[in-house]
Structure 1
Amino acid sequence: MREQYLRAAELISSADALLVCAGAGMGVDSGLPDFRGDEGFWRAYPPYARLGLRFVEIADPEHFAADPELAWGFYGHRLDLYRETRPHDGFTILRKWGENKPGGVHVFTSNVDGQFQRAGFTDVAEVHGSIHHLQCLAHCGAGIWPADDVVVDIDPESMRARPPLPSCPDCGALARPNILMFGDYDWVPDRSQRQLDEFTAWRRTHRSIAVVELGAGRAIPTVRRQAELASAANGNLVRINPREPEVRHGRGVSLPVGALEALTILDELVA
C-alpha cells in the first residue's frame, strides 16, 4: 500500500491542475448517511422501512404531485441535514492542493449536498443539481432559485412534512428541489449546464491534470466515467474507494480506503 500512496502522491504533485471527481462516499466521513442498498437507506430513515419504501421510490419526482407531504418530508430532512453537516478535513486538503497549482482545482460531483461550496470551493459542477436550489412544479417559467429561506417542518415519526410546503415565488404553486431524481423528466438543468460548460472550458485549457476520484460507485457511474475520461490521455487517476477501487487496465492508482483516511496520508507525501 505504501507504494500505491507514493505513486498517487507523485501523480498529484507533478500535475499543473487538479480535478476532484466525487460521489456519495465523499460525505460519509462527514457523518452523512450511506444509502448503499435498501438496508443502508432504511437504517438512516426507519420510517421508510416501516412503509416498505426504497430509496429509488422515495427519491421519485412523482411523489411531489401525488403526495407532496411525503416528498418534502424526505427532502426537507435532507436539506436540514446538509445545512448542519460540517465538511470533513479532506475537503480542506483537496482545496489546498488545488490552490498550489497554476491551473487550480475544479470539482465534478453527483452529490447534491453543497458540501464542496461550504468547504470553500468555487468551481463546482453539480451534474445532478443541488438541494439548495428549487424549481416550480407547475413549470411557470420561474427558473431556479436558492432555497436559503426554506424551512420545512417535519413530523419525525412519520417523516411527513407539515404545511405550508415550499412554493414558487412567482405563481405560488408547489416547489421541488432542483435535483435530477430517478425517472425525472421535469428537472430544469439550466444551472447545472452552466456549471458543466465552465468545467468543459477549464478542462480544454489544462492538459496536465491529476484526477482524484473519491467515493464514486458503479451503480450510477457518471462520476467514474468522467474521471476515466479526464485521465485517459495521461493515466493520472487516483481512485479512492473502499468498496469498488479497481482501476481498469492499470490506468491509475487504486486506494481501497475511505476518503478522509486516504487524503490525510497523501497530504504528508504530496509536494
Structure 2
Amino acid sequence: MTGVPESLPDWLTAASRITVLTGAGISTDSGIPDYRGPKGVWTRDPDAEKLVTLSYYLADPDIRRRSWLMRRDLQVADPQPNAGHAALVDLERQGRLRALVTQNIDGLHQAAGSDPDRVLEIHGTVNEVRCTSCGDRTPMSAALDRVEAGEPDPACRVCGGILKSATIYFGEMLEERVVEAAVAAATDCDVFLTVGTSLTVHPAAGLVDLAVGSGARVVVVNAEPTPYDDVADLVVDEPIGTALPRLIALA
C-alpha cells in the first residue's frame, strides 16, 4: 500500500492550478456504492446496468419502474458529503482549485460547499429529470413525489413523453460544453488530481492523457490500481476519507 508521504514533493506544494477529477470512490463513505469496483453494483449484478442504458430504458416500462424505485431509495437514504468532499472544499478555499471535474451524479460536491461554477458534472445530475421528447427539465423531487403518489412511471406533464433522470445514460452523448470545459481544465493545470475513479471510462480517463501531454503532474488517489498508475507522479491507495484530507492539508 502506498500512503500519503510524510512530506510532499515541491511540485505539489507549489502547485497553484490544480484540476481534480472525482469518481464513485469519493462518495462510498457517504453510503453511495460504487459501480465498477470489486463489490460494485454492476460487478455484483450486471443486469443493473440496464437501468441506466438508454435503449433498455426507453423500450421497457419495467426497467423504467425499477429505475424510479432506485432513485426513490437513494433519496430516502439521504447521503451526505464526507471528509473527502470537505477536503476539496478546503483546496478551493486555498485558491488553488482550477476546476472540479466529476463523474458523479450525486451533487455531494456542491452540498459540501464547492462552488457550483467550478464543478463540471460530465455525467449529469440526479437532482433533475429531463423529458426524452421535449427536453423539459424539472426537479427530481417532484418526479419522486409522483412515484410515491402511485405513478410508477411518471410521464412528462408538458408533452407526455418519457421522463428520465438528467444523467448521461449509456447510449447518450455527453454535453459538449461540459466536455469542452473539462478538456480546458485538464490542459491548463500544473497538477491533475484523480480521486476515487477507476480511470477506465472515457472520455473522463482521457483527461489524464491531456494533462500529461500539457506538462501537468498527476496524482492518483484510489483504493484499487488504475491503468494510469504507471504514468502518475504520486499514487496513494489508502482509504480516500483519510488520505485525501491529509494530502490536502500537507499540500
The alpha-carbon deviation at position 105 of structure 1 amounts to: 3.9
Flag structure 1 segments of 5+ consecutive residues without an equivalent. 156-160
Contact 2:87/2:248, CA 8 A, preserved across alignment = yes
Aligned CA-pair RMSD: 3.3
Write the mapping of 1:249-260 to structure 2, written as runs, cut at 5 A. Answer: 249-260=230-241
Output the TM-score relative to the length of structure 2. Answer: 0.80
Q: Match of 2:142, SS? A: coil
Contact 2:21/2:193, CA 8 A, preserved across alignment = yes
Match status 1:226 vs 2:243: no
Instruction: Name the counterpart of 2:107.
Output: 114
Q: Do the aligned partners of residues 153 and 43 (structure 1) sit closer, same or farther apart at CA in structure 2, a change above 3 Å counting?
A: farther
Distance in 1, matches of 2:153 and 2:109, equals 27
Match status 1:193 vs 2:176: yes
Match status 1:128 vs 2:114: no
> What is the percent sequence identity of the aligned residues?
22
Q: Do the aligned partners of residues 72 and 105 (structure 1) sit closer, same or farther apart at CA in structure 2, a change above 3 Å counting?
A: farther
Write the mapping of 1:69-218 to structure 2, written as runs, cut at 5 A. Answer: 69-78=62-71, 80-81=73-74, 84-101=78-95, 104-121=97-114, 122=116, 123-137=118-132, 139-140=133-134, 142-151=135-144, 162-182=150-170, 184-185=171-172, 189=174, 192-200=175-183, 206-207=188-189, 209-218=190-199
Q: Match of 2:213, SS? A: coil
Q: Match of 1:151, SS? A: helix
Contact 2:129/2:143, CA 8 A, preserved across alignment = no
Distance in 1, matches of 2:245 and 2:97, equals 20
Q: Match of 1:150, SS? A: helix
Q: Do the aligned partners of residues 258 and 215 (structure 1) sit closer, same or farther apart at CA in structure 2, a change above 3 Å counting?
A: same
Q: Match of 1:81, SS? A: helix
* Number of equivalent positions: 247
Write the mapping of 1:30-69 to structure 2, written as runs, cut at 5 A. Answer: 30-36=30-36, 40-41=40-41, 54-69=47-62
Distance in 1, matches of 2:50 and 2:19, equals 32
Output the TM-score relative to the length of structure 1. Answer: 0.75
Letter in 2 for 1:120: G
Q: Do the aligned partners of residues 240 and 75 (structure 1) sit closer, same or farther apart at CA in structure 2, a change above 3 Å counting?
A: farther
In terms of mean alpha carbon deviation, does 90-99 or 258-267 score higher?
A: 258-267
Contact 1:136/1:168, CA 8 A, preserved across alignment = yes
Contact 2:186/2:208, CA 8 A, preserved across alignment = no
Q: Match of 2:220, SS? A: strand
Contact 2:81/2:108, CA 8 A, preserved across alignment = yes
Contact 2:68/2:144, CA 8 A, preserved across alignment = no
Letter in 2 for 1:195: V
Match status 1:241 vs 2:235: no
Q: Do the aligned partners of residues 212 and 202 (structure 1) sit closer, same or farther apart at CA in structure 2, a change above 3 Å counting?
A: closer
Q: Do the aligned partners of residues 58 and 163 (structure 1) sit closer, same or farther apart at CA in structure 2, a change above 3 Å counting?
A: same
The alpha-carbon deviation at position 60 of structure 1 amounts to: 1.8
Q: Do the aligned partners of residues 63 and 177 (structure 1) sit closer, same or farther apart at CA in structure 2, a change above 3 Å counting?
A: same
